[in-house]
Amino acid sequence: MENLDTKCASLRSEIAATEAQLAKLKRELRDAEESASKSRTTNNVGPTQTETRPERKWPLLGEEYRRYGRQMIVPQVGLQGQLKLRKARVLIVGAGGLGCPAALYLAGAGVGTLGLVDGDTVESSNLHRQVLHRSKNVGKFKVDSAIEYLQELNPHPTYIAHRAHLAPQESADIFKGYDLILDCTDNPATRYLVSDTAVLLGKPLVSASALRTEGQLMVLNNPPRPPGDKTGGPCYRCVFPRPPPANSVTSCADGGILGPVVGTMGVLQALEAIKVLTNDVATKEPAPPSLLIFSAYSSPQFRTIKLRSRRPTCAVCSAEASVTLESVKSESLDYVFFCGTAGLEGALSPEERITPLEYRENHSTVAGRHIIDVREKVQFDICSLDNSINIPFSQILASAPTAASEEDNGSTPLPSWLPSEIAADSKIPIYVVCRQGNDSQTAVRRLKNLGLHRGGERLIVDIKGGFRSWREQVDPEWPDY
């Protein structure tokens, strides 16, 4: 069965690649026919030949005038702007929540070539926000799924699939073939890689991010200037010289995301891309650099923060630049190391952890046991174990990790989030569980630092792997959200 699935996936990929190549060949044929028509008109002086093979009068095809007419009559675009979009080559890094709406509107607008970079496959959890993918394409490469939809929307552009995660040694070779880059990724390491490569190759960059109910948008390296040229737009490193602490970075899988929020940011990326590509049609100078902040539940929902120009000490775009294409390609600059890795606060020993199966077989019948669920309340309300107590991990982190000393015999004031029945002097064991088995380890360490383990007399352990493992080992019907 697995071999058949692999074969189906391979055939889908080949079909998508063939369709993309066919679309490209059609475009090349159209351009060749137009060039041949012009050449024949120029070389043939006979009146009969001139009448039968006239020079093409209009620069766009009749169907293109009908398709793009509503945007061509917008003064900021016009015919010249449409022609620029037709010639433009745009690369979208990430075919997820941001990349899907961005690609949708850029393809609809008639951008001549759209490249998509992504190594992930479609999952059912993507479908509420990644609007190019459909249920039938679960398991398919995201770039192939997206291109399949885009070709149905608009067959005129050329679509290019890059079926892999962006890697430093390949980023420059990929970026060279495009005029504008859209960063639609979801992790700091890739954002720095995208920005560095774009600056070093002189490509404008439209960068966005979204989490829960908020989003951010920036147009970077616009106008694109060589490193050291102060008239160029700032890059990602100018705005964020140092990455955020690794433990503070939350993914959509952990923090959640509303589909319309990430959709809004992706559509805005497409809008900014169109503005950049058609800029000289409406105005000679790009808008001053700014950071657009969107908050779905605030009033007003949008606010803008003015950004400074290029940072004089920027490692990429200043006169003191230390990052080069060679250092990026050779991977001497480790982006993952630069951004750090999220480590656990005092990872537990094997004796301090039990599997869900061990809990069910050996501990679930212990009288008076305490089960602490450290997921946030909104997740606890979705599903929870019977008689478990919800103490959100955010509350645990908000309190200082103080330790009880031996002299005060554990009399250090206990935090307000700790229920009295758990804080009571007792030998009743405590089991801590979370979604994936990471937060629960930190919570166990905090509880022990507070002296609740009574010098080893009281069992305090975490359930290894959290509810992800619980579903695999104990209850296959446990909600997978």
The residues annotated with a catalytic role in the active site are 252, 434
* Percentages (nearest 5) of helix, strand, coil residues in the chain: 45, 15, 45
Using alpha carbons, select from 198, 24, 33, 204 the residue that is nearest to residue 114: 24
Question: Rounded to whole angstroms, how far apart are CA atoms 129 and 143?
Answer: 15
Contact between residue 445 and residue 477 where contact means Cβ atoms under 8 Å apart: no
Question: Distance between CA 236 and CA 187 in Å, rounded?
Answer: 13
388 marked as part of a ligand binding site: no
- The C-alpha atoms of residue 216 and residue 186 are separated, in whole angstroms, by 12
Q: Is 128 annotated as a binding residue?
A: yes
125 is in an annotated binding site: yes
438 contacts: CB under 8 Å, gap ≥ 6: 344, 466
Ligand-binding site membership of 186 (annotated)? yes
The response to whether 100 counts as a known ligand-binding position is no
CA distance 418 to 371: 13
Report in angstroms the alpha-carbon separations of 112 from 91, 96, 463: 11, 21, 53
**Residue-level length of the chain:** 481
User: Distance between CA 164 and CA 125 in Å, rounded?
Assistant: 20
Answer yes or no: is 202 a known binding residue: no
DSSP code string of 173-219: HHHTT-SEEEE---SHHHHHHHHHHHHHTT--EEEEEEEBTEEEEEE
387 known member of a binding site: no
d(CA 144, CA 17): 8
Tell me how crowded residue 440 is: count the other CB atoms within 10 A of its CB.
Answer: 28
Rounded Cα distance, 131 and 138, in Å:
13
Nearest to 132 by CA among 21, 270, 7, 252: 270
Distance CA 423, CA 435 (A): 24
12 contact partners, CB below 8 Å, separation of at least 6: 140, 141, 144
Tell me how far apart the alpha carbons of residues 280 and 232 are, in angstroms, rounded to a whole number.
16
Closest CA to 357 of 476, 480, 479, 481: 476
**Residue 437 marked ligand-binding:** no
Task: Say if residue 187 carries a ligand binding annotation.
Answer: yes
Query: Tokens 């745009």 label which residue?
Result: 90
Instruction: Please state, in angstroms and rounded to a whole number, the distance separating the CA atoms of residues 150 and 175.
Output: 21
209 is in an annotated binding site: no
Residue 376: CB atoms within 10 Å: 19
Query: Was 57 annotated as part of a binding site?
Result: no
- For 464, half-sphere exposure in the C-beta direction (CA atoms, 13 angstrom radius) is 13
**Binding site residue list:** 97, 118, 125-129, 142, 186-187, 235, 238, 314, 317
Query: Binding site for ATP: what residues are annotated?
Result: 97, 118, 125-129, 142, 186-187
Residue numbers in the known binding site for Zn(2+) are: 235, 238, 314, 317
